[in-house]
């Protein structure tokens, strides 16, 4: 059985004091034995202090992005090796805001994935369709293309989590119904099977992301191919994030 993984993407939010308070609030309400995986992805400037604060807790920490080179004249970029060096174990690559706001291409994202894997980081690889693509019946074509761009024989699937995030549901308050989420996740698992094999596809964790909150978390994660959540705004609120974690635990039991 695949283990649930709930990750909080803090995006460009929180100063250090706010981050410490949030971590303290979350850790104080976690069960003694946490039966799901849990991670937070703060901004770059918070990574180093938070790796120290999170020592001894069950919460993993990773970066929201990285560059595709390990060093060099790339002003403003962060190398995967730097992220690994300060104690992080994972990185988000391909979030829709990187794709559609910053303009990152599939080719660049693949280079980032390979560079991150090279230094031992694990990947949360984000995919998802825009509203106009869904309305045009292109959802599956978009997901298949993005999976093909980022994954394949040169990528160790054992170190990759896929996050399906319908772009029309990120930060909009709109959430895919459990049925829509399940259909997209099942399709993704099928396509991953084509890129690797059925056995590998059955093992890969596929998170759902897109306005996940405490009130809908359990129903979404109870779907057979939904293996957790990549949470945006709700991960900045202690009670909401704890509610989502509780939803994951209930859905897994």
User: Are 252 and 191 spatial neighbours (Cβ–Cβ below 8 Å)?
Assistant: no
Among 95, 129, 149, 191, the active-site one is 95
d(CA 195, CA 147): 9
* 165 in active site: yes
Among 129, 133, 165, 191, the active-site one is 165
C-beta neighbour count of 107 within 10 angstroms: 9
Phi, psi of 126 (to 5 degrees): -95, 135
* 95 in active site: yes
Residues taking part in catalysis: 95, 165
């Amino acid at each position: 059985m695949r283990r649930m993984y709930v990750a909080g993407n803090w995006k460009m939010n929180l100063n250090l004091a706010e981050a410490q308070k949030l971590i303290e609030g979350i850790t104080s309400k976690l069960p003694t034995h946490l039966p799901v995986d849990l991670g937070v992805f703060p901004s770059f400037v918070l990574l180093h202090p938070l790796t120290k604060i999170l020592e001894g807790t069950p919460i993993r920490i990773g970066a929201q992005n990285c560059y595709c080179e390990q060093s060099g004249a790339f002003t403003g970029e962060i190398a995967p090796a730097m992220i690994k060096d300060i104690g992080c174990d994972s990185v988000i690559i391909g979030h829709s805001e990187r794709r559609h706001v910053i303009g990152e291409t599939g080719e660049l994202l693949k280079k980032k994935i390979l560079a991150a894997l090279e230094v031992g980081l694990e990947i949360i690889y984000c995919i998802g369709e825009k509203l106009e693509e869904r309305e045009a019946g292109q959802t599956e074509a978009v997901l298949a293309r993005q999976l093909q761009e980022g994954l394949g024989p040169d990528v160790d699937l054992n170190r990759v989590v896929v996050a399906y995030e319908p772009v029309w549901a990120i930060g909009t308050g709109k959430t895919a119904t459990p049925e829509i989420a399940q259909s997209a996740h099942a399709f993704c698992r099928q396509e991953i099977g084509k890129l690797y094999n059925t056995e590998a596809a059955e093992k890969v964790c596929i998170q759902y992301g897109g306005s996940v909150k405490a009130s809908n978390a359990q129903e979404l994660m109870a779907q057979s191919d939904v293996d957790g959540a990549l949470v945006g705004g709700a991960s900045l609120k202690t009670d909401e994030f704890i509610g989502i974690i509780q939803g994951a635990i209930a859905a897994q039991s």
